[in-house]
Structure formats: C-alpha cells, structure tokens
Amino acid sequence: MYYVELAVQGLIYGSMYALMALGLTLIYGLLRVLHIAHAAVFTLGAYVGVITANATGSLWIAFPAAILAAVLAGIAIYRLVYAPLLDRPPLVPLIASVGLLILLEDLFRIVFGNQGIAFNENPYVYMTVTIGGLSIGVLQLAMFVGSVASLSAFAAFVAFSRTGAAWRATLGNPQMATSFGVSVAQVRYLNFAIGSAFAGLAGVLIALLNNYAEPGMGTIVSYKTLAIIVLGGLGSMRGALIGSLLLGVIESYGTVYLSGGVDRDAIAALCLIAILMFRPEGLAKRIAA
C-alpha cells in the first residue's frame, strides 16, 4: 500500500508538471522559443488566486481571476517580448525569457513582500478523501482531476475543432497554413493564452496546497518543466505528458530511497542528462517536428 501511495503522490505532483510542461512545449513547438518566464506566469496565477480569495472569500472567483490574469500576462509577454525578437537567433528570446523571469520574480518580491502571502481561509487544506483505502488530500485530488480534465479538453479541442485543425496545420507547416487562410498570428496568441491558462491554474492549485504564494515558487518548476520537455522530446505534447508523470513518480520514490545521496530536485537534472546522453530525441519522439 505504501508503494502505491508513493506512486499516487508522484502522479499528483506529476500532473502539476504536466499542466506547466504542456504550455512550454506548445510554445516551443510553435515558436521555437524556450519560454522560461512561463514560471513567472505560474507565480502570477498563484498570487492573483491568493489575493482574490482573500479579498472576496471565494475560490470560485479566485480561480477564474487567476487564470484570466495568467492569460493576459502570457499574451502580453508574447506581444511585448517574444514577437519583436522572433527573427533573431533563438538564443536572443531565450535570454530575454530568463531575464524576464528574474525581473518578474523580483517584482513579486517588491510588490507583495519577500515572505509571500498566505490564504486567510483555506478549509480544503485539511480535507481528505479515501479512495480504495488510500487517503488523499482533496486539493491533491483536485490537482490531478483538474489537470486531467483540462488537458483532455485541450486534446479534444486540438483533435476535433476547426481551430484545432488550424493549429495543427500551423505547427506542421506555417507557410502552408497561411496560404490556406489560417492566421498564424491568431494561432500564436491562442497558443500563449491556453498555455498560460494552464500555468495560472497550476499556480493557484499549488498555492492552495502550500497555503501560500511566494515570489520564488516558480524557479524550480521552471527548470524541471524544461527538463521534462527535453525528456519528452522538444515540442512533443504526448512526450511532455509522459515526461511529467514519469518525473513525478521517479521523484516520489527518489525522495524516499535516494534520500541522503541525491535530493529531489537533482533527480530532474539527472534524468535530463541521461536523456541527452542516451536518447537525445526524447522519450516519445518518433518523427522529427
């Protein structure tokens, strides 16, 4: 039972990685930009969630507010930072992105204080449900279910809707898509909007689980999701999902069994190195993007 519980804990945390990694891999697939500042969008979502919940006393307002703020931030980042740099070598937007993450983290520090802010009321923190003999936190369950639901909805959207078709077309061959009347600019905005919405959702969920939001909460997530999308094969959505869950589970066991030798955060880096050495095309990648 204990081993199952460790695996479940890993899947839950992995589902948060999945929410983050998906946005990152979408943006990489479309623009070839490693959007490191995605982690700042995640932190923004967390802060807006905490502040709104404290101000209104309702999580039903906090979630949409956080997601909306994340979407707007994502679009603004694309418009103001990446769009003007897209014709430069890929290192330029990458450096801009790293700089943006540092800038935004410090901005959170200056505006909201260094210690972070806690929820005034967060009754869900102590609630648990028992499923098949396993006791799981309500928020943990919400994280897993929320991730699975939103990622499935997204997959259905890409597979079956007209916009989804335009999206896939743009990913595959932007020039061809343009000549068929697809607005590449629109697809890009939509891409940032959806990716950022997932990051905002992940931010609020983590804030709820930790019971507070803090300025540096995105740092580790940022490099781990980076490892994940490399793990999965850059730009591959399926790979990112597999990579996320896999890393979550490996970390979960690693925390207990590698304790003392390797810390949890080092595990992502080790996986990254291993993949780059032995399978540089990534776990799930069969056809080059």
Contact footprint for other proteins (CB under 8 A): 2, 5-6, 9-10, 12-13, 106, 109, 114-116, 118, 122, 125-128, 135, 137, 140, 206, 209-212, 214, 216-217, 219-220, 251-253, 255-256, 259-260, 263-266
- One-character DSSP codes across 228-289: HHHHH-TT-HHHHHHHHHHHHHHHHHHHHHSTTTS-HHHHHHHHHHHHHHH-TT-SS--S--
Closer to other proteins by CB, 248 or 282: give it.
Answer: 248
Query: CB of 164: closest distance to other proteins in angstroms?
Result: 33
Phi, psi of 3 (to 5 degrees): -70, -35
Dihedral through CA 227, CA 30, CA 10, CA 52, nearest 10?
110
Nearer to other proteins, 127 or 185 (CB): 127
Which of 153/266 has CB closer to other proteins? 266
- Minimum CB separation of residue 145 from other proteins in Å reads 16
Token pair recorded at residue 117: 């802010």
Q: Cβ 38 to other proteins, closest distance in Å?
A: 17
Q: Which two tokens stand for residue 45?
A: 């979502």
Of 33 and 50, nearer to other proteins (C-beta) is 50
Q: Find the shortest distance in angstroms from Cβ 270 to other proteins.
A: 13
Positive or negative: CA dihedral 251, 252, 257, 260: positive
Residue 214 C-beta: closest distance to other proteins, Å? 7
Q: Which is nearer to other proteins, 154 or 212 (CB)?
A: 212
Nearest to 217 by CA among 44, 9, 23: 44
CB 201 within 8 A of CB 150: yes
